[in-house]
Amino acid sequence: MTSQINTRSEIFQRPTNQPAPDPTGFSATRLALQLYGRVSPQKAGRLVNRMAFRPSRLPVPIRYEPLLDNTDSYTQLQHGARTIPVYSWGEGPVILGVHGWAGAGIQFGAWVNPLVEAGYRVVLFDAPAHGRAQGESTDLFEMAEVTARVAASVGRVHGVLAHSIGCIAVARAIADGLEANYLVMLAPPAGLRAVMDNLGRQLGLSEDVLAAHLQLMEERFGPSVWEQLDLEALSRSLTQRGLIVIDDEDTSISPDESEQIYDNWEKASVLRTRGLGHHRLLWSPMVVETVLRDLGRPVDTV
């Protein structure tokens, strides 16, 4: 069903497949932190702070491995002492993919062939400490900086696909000067503070332990860190046309948070789904087809 609200479209669809379980992997960590927090909230907070900058490296989806072996272009971007892999397929206006925390560029593998066939060049990369990139730790400011550097290395970027926390990195990069005509946000959170609050709930942290972690964040980045990485606020200044995809059964990012971004982004349309959860948005044929229709072919966007 499609309806128009002013100049913004709303689409609601449900996939035919049933949602799969969304494992957290936090059980043992939850228990250990809760016990440690009772003994020393400050020390437990420091442990959470170290964990917060060290993303897990998920294995590359097997179905996308052939894409990595058959890129049209593979380059390496030097970021400080670390090497960032950059992959490219096709020719035409650039569509840049920005993955989320603990993700990797190839998570956008389902988008490569459809976008290339539509006449676009797809550029994917692994952020520091993610995928095949070097490093053990990173943060959203660095992810935003690397996003901007990758964009600069490939020329003018026509569109950006961003998932989850990667949406914050993209919005920060845009606020700092990255230019793009079109932007897709898949399951965007309200901001870094909301992400940290959600982490606290998932780990069952006490208020004292979470407060110790947040204080360390402010000591590292300054008290304005929450404002600088507040997607709810950053989305108000977005001038790009775009699309937000929100799944009602997302257990990682609250759909209400993504709705806040939609409410603030004047030129955004929204695709609402049910049953895809947080990650299957990345490879849902229905989501890909909807974005392609909204994006249009290059001849339609000149």
Q: Could you read off the pLDDT of 194-207 as tens digits, one per residue?
A: 999 999 998 889 99
pLDDT of 97 strictly over 90: yes
User: Residue type for 114, please?
Assistant: P
87 occurs within a structural domain: yes
Would the pLDDT of 16 be above 80? Answer: no
* Domain assignment present for 108: yes
Question: Do the beta carbons of residue 186 and residue 282 sit within 8 Å?
Answer: yes
State the pLDDT confidence band at 220, using cuts at 50, 70 and 90: very high
Residues of the chain above pLDDT 90, percent:
77
239: domain CATH number? 3.40.50.1820
Q: Which domain range does residue 291 map to?
A: 80-192+219-295
pLDDT greater than 80 at residue 302: no
Residue 40: inside a domain: no
Residues 92 and 297: their CA atoms lie apart, in Å, by 10
Answer yes or no: is 197 within a domain: no
Tell me, yes or no, whether 165 lies in a domain.
Answer: yes
Of the candidates 202, 134, 250, the one whose C-alpha atom is nearest the C-alpha of residue 142 is 134
- Return the minimum-mean-pLDDT range out of 33-37, 95-99, 211-215: 33-37
Which position has the token pair 């920005």? 98
Domains identified in the chain, total number: 1
Q: Is the pTM of this model over 0.85?
A: yes
Whether the CB-CB separation of 132 and 111 falls below 8 Å is answered with no
Residue 161 lies in a domain: yes
Quote the tokens at residue 295. 């994006």
Residue 71 lies in a domain: no
Q: Are 295 and 160 in contact (CB under 8 A)?
A: no
Query: What confidence score (pLDDT) does residue 188 get?
Result: 98
Helix (H, G, I), strand (E, B) or coil at 100: coil
